[in-house]
Amino acid sequence: MATTALTGFSMMSLLSLGYLTWDLMSPNQVENEPNQSFMDRSPVPQPPHIIFIMTDDQGFNDIGYHSSDIRTPVLDKLAADGVKLENYYIQPICTPSRSQLITGYQIHTGLQHSIIRPRQPSCLPFDQVTLPQRLQELGYSTHMVGKWHLGFYKKECLPTRRGFDTYFGSLTGSVNYYTYDSCDGPGLCGFDLHEGESVAWGQKGKYSTHLYTQRVRKILATNDPQSQPLFIFLSFQAVHTPLQSPREYIYPYRGLENVARRKYAAMVSAVDEAVRNITYALRKYGYYQNSVIIFSTDNGGQPLSGGSNWPLRGRKGTYWEGGIRGLGFVHSPLLRKKRRVSKALVHITDWYPTLVGLAGGNESLTEGLDGYNVWDAISEGKESPRLEILHNIDPMYNHARSGSLQKGYGIWNTAIQASIRAGDWKLLTGDPGYGDWIPPQMLPGFPGGWWNLERHTEPRKSVWLFNISGDPYERYDLSEQRPDVVKELLARLAYYNRTAVPVRYPSEDPRADPHLNGGAWVPWVGDEEEDSWDSVYQKKNMDWKKKLKLSKSRAFFRRLNTRIMSNRI
């Protein structure tokens, strides 16, 4: 059960599946694959194999079924035969999205402010049971391939200590796609590719999208689908900067005159091919009929680096729809109702309880999480349990100069960056970030370029209200026309903030310098060394888990108030 509840609105119907027939292999196939095939074995195991595929910085307009200039035939086919999630929300930057996927918590991890820098002594809280740990308890073999970006200052922070049986990938937020060098400032560069808890020096020169795909195929080839269910978290580095791809993927986009967009589109095509080869491997080795494939991006696209969120407002790093409206779909033979587009409300925290439930876990394993089990809404099209989404409350972000408690009707200080979605309504306070709409340039002299056709800087504002269902592009601010709705949603922000965990954002530690650690980014703090958090937002508060229990005891009255409020707004 989640701790959120609000206006009566429905959630989302998701998935559907198609029986793919792509046999083509190419650059990302497994080298020296075993000849063993498990196709003919009979009893179908339960629970299902779960393959969660996440891309990095892929914008709303960066997939074939939303875009006119990027071709993704495989992703389009999987989504069309499954359930497209067209009201799916993520976080605006990497670390918060990934932490919320892995923990099922929103503002209860301390990681809601920003990304974890390579030299910061921070990672997922040690007292929280992760999604892969829960799946291990339920009998799953768990594997992660790709980008971690959830901290590594101690060995206890590493993926293999947080629930994954195997790990192959990069620990920091951005690396070179071929050399795996990662820099955190001038002269602060190091190698970042890891096999388990060791540095994988021997893999230089191989394109990461291909390398990660080969590893997933190898995992599928060397496991028996009938003996143990698999959970594979494939976290592509693509399509994050730097913009790099093999030349053959660029050629089909030679007509795009914007160089960044051309390279970006090529990287998306490489991901599309990778998903084709993984799906083929699922069928070849006997996993497909009892599998659930989930596709998600981690945040909105960055137009300055080739991405596009058009026609949504804003970009990566903002709380406008372009920063937090995610690409997502579910594809599975196990779906009851397939080939659908779902407008139901879903958040990235919902995957934790949904997948634990799908794996056979009972509700006690996910009690108190911020996410909801949305499988029935996805598979059967039933009403979703989610009625609202707290996008974030960030007390550390630069406060809006024009914001104040007075402007928040004495309920909420509108200088604080925060955002909440309740049914049709979305409220933003503080500084939501860059708020332009950035479409493909159609003016003469700028073919294929990107341009800000509109500028809505409004420096004196600190409150915005939109009817997102009727105005998904956030063009009509209704905060002055509907102060009643504003007050209700400000009260919800204040309600959520009572249980927020203080932000963990420690100062950078010079001991992390790769030059002091053999030339690689590796853990640099001993597990016995105590943490001392400085540069941390402090908030005197009773234990948040106790507060959650107290909040649950008021659940009946909260839900009653929710229904009354939904009638008013």
E strand segments, 385-434: 388-394, 417-422, 425-429
The kind and range of the H/E element at 444 are: none
Q: Which two tokens stand for residue 58?
A: 């892929």
DSSP codes joined into one string, 313-349:
B--TTSSSHHHHBPPEEEE-TT-SS-SEEE--BEEGG
Question: Token pair for residue 264?
Answer: 């970006």
Q: What is the DSSP letter of 202?
A: G
Question: Do 386 and 345 contact (CB within 8 A), yes or no?
Answer: yes
DSSP β-ladder status, 230-235 and 83-85: unpaired
As a whole number of angstroms, the distance between CA 124 and CA 436 comes to 33
Measured between alpha carbons, how far is 521 from 524 in angstroms, rounded to an integer? 9
Dist CA 309 CA 319 (whole Å)? 13
Check whether the bond before 439 is cis (ω within 30° of 0).
Answer: no
Residue position matching structure tokens 């049709």: 424
Cis peptide preceding 503, ω within 30 of 0: no
Report phi then psi at 198, rounded to 5. Answer: -115, 155
CA 14 to CA 310: how far, in whole Å? Answer: 23
d(CA 440, CA 449): 6
d(CA 81, CA 335): 10
Structural Rg of the chain based on CA atoms: 23
CB 209 within 8 A of CB 118: no
Peptide bond into 47 cis (omega under 30): yes
Q: What's the rounded Cα separation, in Å, for the pair 214 and 217?
A: 5
Q: How many helices (H) and strands (E) does the chain have?
A: 12, 18
Residue 149 falls in the annotated catalytic set: yes
- Report yes or no: 421 and 468 within 8 Å, Cβ to Cβ: yes
Residues 6+ apart with CB under 8 A from 370: 2, 3, 4, 100, 104, 105, 106, 107, 108, 349, 390
Q: Return the residue matching tokens 């503080």.
A: 430
3-class DSSP assignment, residue 484: helix
Retrieve residue 566's tokens: 């939904």
Of 149, 194, 210, 240, the catalytic one is: 149
What 8-state DSSP symbol labels residue 215? H
Q: Which of 94, 123, 157, 189 is catalytic?
A: 94
Active site residues: 94, 149
